[in-house]
Amino acid sequence: MSINPNRRSQELETHHKALEGERKIDVVNRLKTARGHIDHILEMVADDAYVLDLLRQVAAVRGALDATTRVALRHYFERVFAEAVRDGGIEPAADDLMTALTFLRQVD
């Protein structure tokens, strides 16, 4: 039996929740930090900065984005996934979880 993943996602729509409160503030601040690093990287490139200094800043951006992902995923696990499972939506929640896990960065 083939299951339509879009239908399963629709089954969870009542559980979809946007970031709020401290988590939203945290995500916004982390993204602003990443944007600041990117602006600095662009200036460094324009100023012909040493490549290792440039790479150090790129790593800082990755760190800020990875931290943002962790905060958002924690929100998802606590507010969306857990509630869907509690309400009996195990199969669609598991499908949604597999999608969420694709957003984790693989460590090289």
Q: Whole domain around residue 41: which residue ranges?
A: 20-91
Tens-level pLDDT at each residue, the chain (108 residues): 445 555 556 666 777 778 888 999 999 999 999 999 999 999 999 999 999 999 999 999 999 998 998 899 899 888 888 888 898 888 888 888 888 888 876 544
Q: Is residue 77 part of a domain?
A: yes
Burial label for 83, CB within 10 Å (0-12, 13-18, 19+), is middle
The verdict on residue 9 lying in a domain is no
Any domain includes 51: yes
Report yes or no on 99 lying in a domain.
no
Instruction: Output the domain CATH number for residue 45.
Output: 1.20.58.1000
**Mean pLDDT over all residues of the chain?**
85
Judge whether 67 lies within some domain: yes
| Overall number of domains in the chain | 1
For the whole model, what pTM was predicted? 0.74
Tokens read off for 108: 């090289």
Q: Answer whether residue 32 is part of any domain.
A: yes
